[in-house]
């Protein structure tokens, strides 16, 4: 029997680009809640920035990082039920109007299946490579979230801020999900959690579960105190091991709504961009081990 109240998602960051669509189709067949892609744009060729961030070479600088919204559009056309996510899109590398256009387009093409993680980024190399200011990434992300909400909810959106400024424009199509796809703010810092409460729909974190659970309690308390409606989602990415059914139940009991897992061995080694369709059976094995319901007829 699968754990109550928790959604189990597949992190496809380890997949080869040519295997993404087929692995997503297999994940849908196996009954997973969603598939998620990750993003990096321009990592340093020597890997020093990765080591400085994580203390080890968690992934290789030339690992295959596809453009996540483009790849999810392809996955959307090859699937029908499974939800689609990014963990996380580096928001301040982009213009918010163009980003909102891409988000709305993908949500329409997927019939409202998009859940989007957004973060401020941590790697100065990426910002230099695209000509974006690293020092203002936090305040620009805050404005971007406001711009995106405005574009999705206003008939004639306009915005006048410190970083972005435009007079009334037309903006169609709006997203299929109203008023917006779920926007989860990624990051492990207090600032990320506060941004999630003020401007997001939830928080996407990684690290010790006890710390995330404590942060979730504070975030939901602040969410209610601010008068915001609806459910504040908390999602966690598991990078160091695969949780079994008992651990998934403990995560659910701790207030975690969704867990992103990588059902392949050696998840702690630099394997991003290396998993092919020949390793798809790992999706079946893990789904069976945690009690996900596979269909009775083969769909893929």
pLDDT digits (tens, 9 = 90+) for 214-265: 999 999 999 999 999 899 999 999 977 899 999 999 999 999 999 999 998 6
- Would residue 295 count as lying in a domain? no
* Helices 96-109, 137-153: crossing angle, 10 deg rounding: 50
Euclidean distance between CA atoms 177 and 179, whole angstroms: 6
| CATH assignment of the domain containing 191 | 3.20.20.30
- Would residue 296 count as lying in a domain? no
- Would residue 166 count as lying in a domain? yes
Which among 251, 298, 278, 281 is positioned nearest to 8, based on CA atoms? 251
- Would residue 299 count as lying in a domain? no
pLDDT digits (tens, 9 = 90+) for 24-63: 999 999 999 999 999 999 988 998 998 998 888 878 888 8
Give the bridge partners for 186, in sequence order. 204
- Would residue 37 count as lying in a domain? yes
> What is the per-residue pLDDT for 58?
79
- Would residue 59 count as lying in a domain? yes
Which band of pLDDT confidence, cut at 50, 70 and 90, is reported for residue 294? low
pLDDT digits (tens, 9 = 90+) for 122-169: 999 999 999 999 999 999 999 999 999 999 999 999 999 999 999 999
- For 232, phi then psi, to 5°, come to -85, 110
Compute the half-sphere exposure of residue 270: CA atoms within 13 Å on the CB side of its CA. 13
Which among 254, 268, 257 is positioned nearest to 209, based on CA atoms? 254
> What is the per-residue pLDDT for 64?
87
Domains contained in the chain, number: 1
**Structure tokens given for 44:** 């340093």
> What is the per-residue pLDDT for 68?
97
**Secondary structure (DSSP) of 133-193:** -STTHHHHHHHHHHHHHHHHH-SS--EE-SS-EE------SPPSSSS--EEEEE-SSHHHH
> What is the per-residue pLDDT for 3?
57
> What is the per-residue pLDDT for 1?
41
Give me the domain span that covers residue 98: 7-289
> What is the per-residue pLDDT for 265?
63
Which among 199, 195, 202, 190 is positioned nearest to 232, based on CA atoms? 202
- Would residue 224 count as lying in a domain? yes
- For 192, phi then psi, to 5°, come to -65, -40
């Amino acid at each position: 029997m699968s754990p109550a109240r928790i959604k189990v998602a597949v992190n496809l960051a380890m997949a080869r680009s040519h295997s993404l669509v087929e692995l997503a189709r297999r994940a849908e067949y196996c009954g997973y809640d969603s598939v998620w892609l990750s993003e990096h744009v321009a990592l340093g060729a020597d890997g020093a920035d990765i080591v400085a961030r994580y203390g080890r070479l968690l992934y290789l600088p030339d690992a295959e990082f596809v453009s996540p919204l483009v790849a999810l559009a392809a996955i959307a056309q090859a699937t029908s039920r499974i939800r689609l996510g990014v963990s996380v899109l580096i928001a301040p590398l982009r213009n918010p109007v163009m980003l909102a256009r891409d988000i709305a387009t993908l949500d329409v093409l997927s019939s409202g299946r998009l859940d989007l993680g957004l973060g401020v980024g941590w790697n100065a190399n990426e910002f230099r490579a695209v000509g974006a200011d690293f020092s203002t990434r936090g305040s620009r992300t805050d404005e971007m979230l406001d711009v995106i909400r405005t574009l999705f909810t206003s008939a004639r959106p306009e915005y006048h801020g410190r970083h972005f400024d435009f007079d009334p424009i037309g903006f169609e199509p709006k997203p299929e999900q109203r008023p917006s796809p779920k926007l989860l703010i990624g990051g492990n810092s207090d600032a990320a959690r506060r941004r999630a409460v003020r401007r997001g729909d939830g928080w996407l974190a990684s690290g010790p579960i006890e710390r995330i659970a404590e942060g979730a309690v504070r975030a939901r308390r602040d969410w209610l105190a601010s008068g915001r409606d609806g459910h504040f989602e908390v999602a966690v990415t598991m990078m160091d091991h695969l949780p079994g059914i008992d651990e998934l139940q403990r995560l659910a009991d701790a207030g975690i709504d969704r867990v992103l897992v990588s059902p392949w061995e050696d998840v702690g080694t630099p394997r991003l961009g290396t998993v092919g369709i020949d390793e798809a059976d790992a999706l079946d094995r893990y789904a069976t081990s945690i009690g996900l319901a596979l269909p009775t007829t083969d769909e893929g």
